[in-house]
Amino acid sequence: MSGQTLQAVHDAIAAHIADEADGETVYLTDWQIIAAAAIPAEHDRTMYFNVGTNSPYHSRLGLLHRGLEMLVNGDND
């Protein structure tokens, strides 16, 4: 991913978090995106992408673990 695209994704996530913060001051400290892409020419194959900040492994793993908890529990907090 180009630096310009990476910055645009970061800015979009930060703007979304600011919108959801209901007037509170919040700072985007880390983010991680996992994406899957279907390959039309190869129906039995999927490509996976992991994009995020250049944070330490343990930080990314913790963020992904919390995301999984939120999915399982139906949380949005």
pLDDT tens column, 12-34: 999 999 998 888 888 888 999 99
Tokens 């907090």 belong to 77
Domain carrying residue 36: 3-73
Query: How many domains are there within the chain?
Result: 1
pTM given for the model: 0.73
Cα–Cα dist 41/18, whole Å? 40
Burial label, 34 (beta-carbon count in 10 A; 0-12, 13-18, 19+): exposed
3-state secondary structure of 7: helix
pLDDT at residue 1 in the model: 81
